[in-house]
Chain A
Amino acid sequence: MEKRTCLYDKHVAAGAKMVPFGGFEMPLQYEGITEEHNAVRTACGVFDVSHMGEVVVTGPDAEAYVQHIFTNDVAGAPKGKIFYGMMLYEDGGTVDDLLVYCLGESKFLLVINAANIDKDFAWMQAQRGTFDVCLENKSDVCGQLAIQGPQAEAVTTEVLGLNCADLAFYTFKVDVADGVQVVISRTGYTGEDGFEIYGPHAWIVACWDKLMASGRAKPCGLGCRDTLRFEVGLPLYGDELSAEISPIMAGLGIFVKLDKPSFIGREAVAAQKAEGPVRKIVGIALEGHAIPRHGYEVMADGQKVGEVTTGYRSISTGQSVCMALVDAAWAKLGTPLDICIHRRLHRGTVVKKKFYDKHYKK
């Protein structure tokens, strides 16, 4: 039985096509993936992302503990700062990718993927060891909306009355809105400017209603969340990161701080970085319009050299493009590769895995 977010009834009433995702019944689309995608690129869209998991870490050793399980470096970070990074297994494989919010000197909020909540929380508890920390899984009581697009700041300020214009990219504030404590952060998963807001269910539902009533934010489903993040080369756990795909293989080494004295998986990813990973996530642009999709084979010299992890005919550019995990020998920019699509080979070329420019407000 899939779980439902606090906005389930709103989605159904809005005519959303509901699908199972990460253990939840989530809206795939309302009006259509293309319309919703374009709304986020050109105006403003709102996503229910209440399925995401939230874990709060507190205690005297909170910072040391986060440093131990997280690849990025939060040492001495000021309150209000956000870090993207990963939790790794000892062998360098990825447990999950996540955001870490610095709530105070000894308090952190970790935002994790819905499909991984149980696995991650069990992993976090197993890594406590002698750290003096308290871990609380708040996933079931915390709702979340993502308001994304070039008009996101105006909509969040004017429709929701939230004071967010002064937030820099990857920072947040804790605020009191309508009598409840909420978190507002300048983050997202679309490549556009935007905000993610966290709060209790009733407040999240009230925000959703205000946004719908205003007509200034189009309701957007997981369908366009994937096309948007894909176009700007952002990874999805399960596609471009997994227990088998390390952040080094995924080209996300800048979020792995090897100058930190230690963290779980450090030795393995340090070795991968030094020797070069055996496989890499690359971008591939196709010559025609055939559409590469997850799991399709990547071929070179008549041999399989990899698999597509995510692919689309880009809504923003019209070009057929994909990300793929390929043997390192075939990962250089400009390398010709074929993709097997519906029993035929289609010619492509390795390109940067960014098919559309990000428009962040920094």
Chain B
Amino acid sequence: MSKVIEGLYYSESHEYVKVEGEYGYIGITDFAQSQLGNVVYVDMPGEGDEVTAGEPFGAVESVKAASDLISPVSGEVVEVNTALEDTPELVNEDAFANWIIKVKLSDSAELDALMDAAAYTAACAE
């Protein structure tokens, strides 16, 4: 059974947003990493890039396949998790601790369109 954390926002494409003030930390869920298998590369945007809700901002890749990362929210990338450049497997070890990008949220109302932990748990069980 995959881990789901209370208090985070979840997308149907298995990204999460952890909100701290006006910033959101975006990563992939534990369920997503378990489905992908060993992560061997994370394709990330640069600091200062804009991401848009519903649009791809990078990819997380196993040996065999690349999966697009879809941003759950819009905003400016203020930090990328550079540790993933050399050790992408951190995503497998703890997907929630190892966020991928930190975004300055441009429209916090977008969070209302995302799922809470209970709804996401139910969505994964379908």
B66 / chain A contacts, CB cutoff of 8 Å:
291, 293, 342
Point out the residue from A289, A312, A341, A342 that lies within 8 Å of B63, measured CB to CB: A312
* Alpha-carbon distance between A34 and B85 when the two chains are bound, in angstroms: 19
Q: Which of B10-59 contact A (CB under 8 A)?
A: 37-38, 40-41, 43, 56, 58-59
Point out the residue from A33, A289, A293, A312 that lies within 8 Å of B37, measured CB to CB: A33
Most chain A beta-carbon neighbours within 10 Å: one of B40, B66, B68: B40
The answer to the question of A32 belonging to the interface, with a C-beta cut-off of 8 Å to chain B, is: yes
Q: Which of B52-87 contact A (CB under 8 A)?
A: 56, 58-59, 61-64, 66, 68, 85
* Alpha-carbon distance between A312 and B59 when the two chains are bound, in angstroms: 15
The answer to the question of A187 belonging to the interface, with a C-beta cut-off of 8 Å to chain B, is: no
A32 / chain B contacts, CB cutoff of 8 Å:
37-38
> Which chain A residue lies CB-closest to B65?
A293
Q: How many residues of B contact A (CB 8 A)?
A: 15
Contact B38 A313 (CB under 8 A): no
> Which chain A residue lies CB-closest to B85?
A289
The answer to the question of A223 belonging to the interface, with a C-beta cut-off of 8 Å to chain B, is: yes
B63 / chain A contacts, CB cutoff of 8 Å:
33-34, 223, 227, 312-313, 315
Contact B61 A223 (CB under 8 A): no
Interface string of A15-36 (1 = CB under 8 A from B): 0000000000000110011100
Point out the residue from B41, B56, B64 that lies within 8 Å of A33, measured CB to CB: B64
A-B contact count (CB 8 A): 37
Quote the shortest CB–CB distance from B74 to chain A (angstroms).
18
* Alpha-carbon distance between A267 and B8 when the two chains are bound, in angstroms: 66
The answer to the question of A249 belonging to the interface, with a C-beta cut-off of 8 Å to chain B, is: no
> Which chain B residue lies CB-closest to A343?
B56
B62 / chain A contacts, CB cutoff of 8 Å:
33
CB within 8 Å for A28 and B64 given contacts A290-B43, A291-B40, A313-B41: yes
B61 / chain A contacts, CB cutoff of 8 Å:
291, 313
* Alpha-carbon distance between A290 and B88 when the two chains are bound, in angstroms: 12
Quote the shortest CB–CB distance from B22 to chain A (angstroms).
28
A341 / chain B contacts, CB cutoff of 8 Å:
43
Chain B interface (Cβ < 8 Å from any Cβ of A): 37-38, 40-41, 43, 56, 58-59, 61-64, 66, 68, 85
For the complex with contacts A342-B58, A342-B66, 15 further pairs of A-B residues with Cβ separation under 8 Å are: A33-B37, A33-B38, A33-B63, A34-B63, A223-B64, A227-B63, A290-B41, A290-B43, A291-B40, A291-B61, A315-B63, A320-B41, A342-B56, A342-B59, A342-B68
